[in-house]
Homo-oligomer: A and B are copies of this chain.
């Protein structure tokens, strides 16, 4: 069937769609969701069909195409193209098998993942796959296959082993350990090419925090260069195509907040395997408010990591940490960078909880590397930090990325602020990470890097009525009042004083 091109002048961002008039679709015996092969001369593209009944919008004899298809075929509006029905990719029937409860083989999972990456599957078809994996958790072997397939279908960065990496399961506000741990262990000689994410639901991600003082967007060869020079990097993972299938899956999990354990495991390990990590420290915060509310679940997750690690030749060290309250004093990119700088410069006003946790993690990594014996890592980490050598290494990494480490007080906070004070006298028994994040988001984080919350007190400290509990910052008067409004409503649950 020959049809005339309408240039949609838009990119679908995912699977290319072609919109046909209903009568043409019927002539072709094509339905919504079917695939068509589009040819112009020797060039060929595949698109999924959407059917439009309105003759005015897509008249019979014409076909509306997204940019992806137009540029692949190098065709112009009003060109004629030849279309024919295309077979469904085999992966569609494999997804159906998964819905029907089957266990998929290594090659089947590889096929699904590669078709996701190559935009051969529609959002709806990928969602069926995610839903099935969520309801019926993947077997151990399926998780291993999924992880491998995610790595193979993306870019990888090769380093000489051993290569170290670190990951926190998340869900705890603050907790910006990475910029402290990485320079400590890199200073001890470990290679640690750390890629981080931006915030999705938190006040700031590690990438947002580093961006306060240095660029974080780099290509693969630049990352290799930085790591070659300093032994480490602190970059954003979003500019390199490491395990891109994972990004596409996460994009479709986001609207429903789906977070399946099989997916979580494959996702984390694939990203690390893509930078050729051989030794990975995983921090699993446990407790009310974190992602792992029970110790039982956390321990089961630990076992899974170790088991998959064996199958993929990765050494995992798992740390179960206290996830019941935020860690550090600042929440929001600038406030978190201030905490980091205070710790690295051994300031007297540093948050001791964040410092202790970072030292513990760095110590575990040093023990994994066999640089020290078991039980002696913490001491070495502390020595590197206290001597100022960690700060030196941090400066080196930041400068290699084209940034500059400022004095902590040079980092400016947003101009509007509000102090929330203790509403009675007593002891703080709980600080709620999820509410802290929500208030920060209203105040403008993560885009407004200088917005956020500074916590004056921690759990177990005593307070007197009227004493400052936290200071709220925002660059927008309007956003600040929205955040204050929420804080006034839920303040009692955000910081519980008894």
Contacts and interface: CB of A to CB of B under 8 A. Distances in A.
Interface of A: 8-13, 19, 26-27, 29, 31-34, 50-54, 57-58, 64, 67, 88, 92-93, 95-96, 99, 101, 122-128, 130-132, 134-136, 200, 251-252, 254-258, 441, 446-447
Contacts of A10: 8, 19, 52, 57-58, 64
A256 B92 contact: yes
A83 to B, nearest CB: 15
A254 to B, nearest CB: 6
Given A99-B135, A131-B132, A254 B33 contact: yes
A344 to B, nearest CB: 28
5 contacts: A11-B52, A26-B447, A88-B255, A123-B124, A125-B256
Contact of A13 (B8, B50, B127, B200): B50
A148 to B, nearest CB: 25
Contact of A131 (B13, B127, B251): B127
A48 to B, nearest CB: 8
CB-based closest 3 A-B pairs: A33-B255, A131-B131, A127-B127
Contact of A447 (B9, B27, B64, B123): B27
A132 B132 CA distance: 8
Copies of this chain present in the complex amount to: 2
A66 B121 CA distance: 22
A132 B256 CA distance: 13
Given A11-B54, A29-B447, A57-B9, A258 B127 contact: no
A459 B200 CA distance: 63
Contacts of A12: 50
Contacts of A32: 13, 251, 254
A205 to B, nearest CB: 12
A200 B256 CA distance: 31
A96 B256 contact: yes
Contacts of A134: 99
Contacts of A255: 33-34, 88, 92, 122, 124-125
A88 B257 CA distance: 11
Contact of A135 (B57, B136, B252): B136
Contacts of A93: 256
Given A124-B124, A127-B131, 13 more contacts: A8-B10, A10-B52, A26-B447, A29-B441, A31-B251, A32-B254, A33-B251, A33-B255, A88-B255, A93-B256, A125-B127, A125-B256, A131-B131
Contacts of A67: 54, 57
A44 B78 CA distance: 35
Contacts of A257: 96
A258 B446 CA distance: 41
A249 to B, nearest CB: 11
